[in-house]
Amino acid sequence: MIDTVLERFLRYVVIDTQSDPASSAQPSTEKQKDLGRLLVDELLAIGLSDAHLDEHGNVYATIPANVEKPVPVICFCSHMDTAPDFTGTNVRPQIVRNYQGGDIRLTGDTSRVIRVADNPELNAQIGHDIVTTDGTTLLGADDKAGVAEIMTAAQYLMDHPEIRRGKIRILFTTDEEIGRGADKVDLQKLGASFGYTLDGSTVGEIENETFSADGVDIAINGVAIHPGTAKGKMENAIKIASEIVARLPKDIAPETTEGKQGFIHPVDISGSMEKAHISLIIRDFVEEGLKTKETLLEELTKEVMKAYPGSTFTFTIKEQYRNMKVALDRHPMVVDNLVEAVRRIGLTPELHSIRGGTDGSRLSFMGLPCPNIFTGGHAYHSPLEWVSRQDMEKSVETIVELVKVWEERTPG
C-alpha cells in the first residue's frame, strides 16, 4: 500500500484532464476520458468487474460486499478534471524526498517558490516525500490525489478479504472544476445511501458545511429617449443599475467578510439606456441569512427606483445550492463514522466549513449526503501545488478504516 498511492498519483497527474468552461459538452473536454479509460482498466485488473466509463466520462465501479449484514451502500467519489485556472499540459512531477524544512524552489521555473510563509502546513511535513510540479504547470493533486487514494484503497480492500465490508461504490466524475461535476451523475444507477468526496486538503480536516447559495437577477427597464430632447423625461437604465450597485452594503461583501459571515456580490452588469441587468450571488451558511440579504437587496432596489417613476424592474431569485450540513444532520452517522475512522488512524478530526460549494453539496441535495474528506493536497489550482506521499497514505487509511467502521456499526 505504501508505494502504490504515490505510483498511482504520478501515473495520473501526467494525463492532461483540464476541463473547459467555454464548452457546453459533458465532458467539456474529451481528454478527460483518457484518464477515465485508464482507471477503468486498472479497476478491472484489481477485480472490480463492473467498472465502466459512461457517455459523459463518469467512471462507476463496485467493490462487492463480503458480509450478509445490511450495511448501507457507501460511495467514494473524486473528480478527474483539473482546474482551467492554470495549464495541466505536460505535468512533470518532482519529488522532494525526506523534506527537511525550508522553501521549495521549483526547478523548471526558478521564479516559482513554495514558501513556508505561505504554506505553514509545510512545518508538519518534515521527513515526508513531497510531490510538486516543475513550476510550469499545475500538479492536479486536486483531485488526482483523491482518485489515487480511492484506487489504492479499492485495491487494498480487494487484496484483504478478511476486512469485513458492505457494498462500496466508486465514482469518478468529470467537469467538477467548472461546476458541472454532479450534473450527469445517475444516482439511481449509483445506488448508494451515503457518499464521501475525497477532495479536501490538510490531513484530519473533514468538510461538512458549505455555503447556501442563491443567485439574484435584477432587470431594469428605463425610459429611453433622444438625448437632445430628454430633459425631464429620460430615465437611463445604466445609471439606475449603477446606483443600485453603488448602494450595496460595503460590510456584506466578499472582500470584507470571513468565517461564517455571508455576503452579497455582483458578478455581472450590462446595459443600455433602455434596459440594464445586474446579476448577483448571495451567500450565507443559513437560509435565514440568505433571506435577510435578499430582502435588503430588494428594498434597496425599490428605494433607488422611487426616483425613476417611468421605469420598472424585476427581481428574480434562483436557488443555486444549499449548505450540505442540512442534509448531513438528517443522517448524523455519515460524519460520526468518518470522525471515528480519522481518530482510529491517529489523527485529530477537525470539522470545517467551506466558503463555497462542492460536488458534495450538490450531491447531498440530490439525495446522496456527502461530506468531504482530506486528500493531503495544498495550494490548489496553481503551479505551487503540492502533496506528500505520507499524507496521501493517511487518506487511504481513512477510507479503509471508514469501511470497517460502517460494517462494525451496522447491527446484524
Catalytic center residues: 81, 176
Tell me how far, at minimum, the Cβ of 298 lies from Zn ion, in Å. 34
**CB-nearer residue toward Zn ion: 142 or 407:** 142
Q: Which residues would be at the binding site for Zn ion (CB under 5 A)?
A: 142-143, 199
With cell 513531497, the residue in question is 130
Tell me how far, at minimum, the Cβ of 368 lies from Zn ion, in Å. 17
**CB-nearer residue toward Zn ion: 208 or 311:** 208
Which residue(s) pair with 214 in the sheet?
Answer: 282, 319
**CB-nearer residue toward Zn ion: 143 or 207:** 143
Tell me how far, at minimum, the Cβ of 176 lies from Zn ion, in Å. 6
Cα–Cα distance for residue pair 219/226, rounded to 1 Å: 22
**CB-nearer residue toward Zn ion: 134 or 199:** 199
Tell me how far, at minimum, the Cβ of 145 lies from Zn ion, in Å. 9
**CB-nearer residue toward Zn ion: 199 or 391:** 199
Longest dimension (CA), the chain: 87
Tell me how far, at minimum, the Cβ of 119 lies from Zn ion, in Å. 18
**CB-nearer residue toward Zn ion: 125 or 197:** 197
Tell me how far, at minimum, the Cβ of 275 lies from Zn ion, in Å. 38
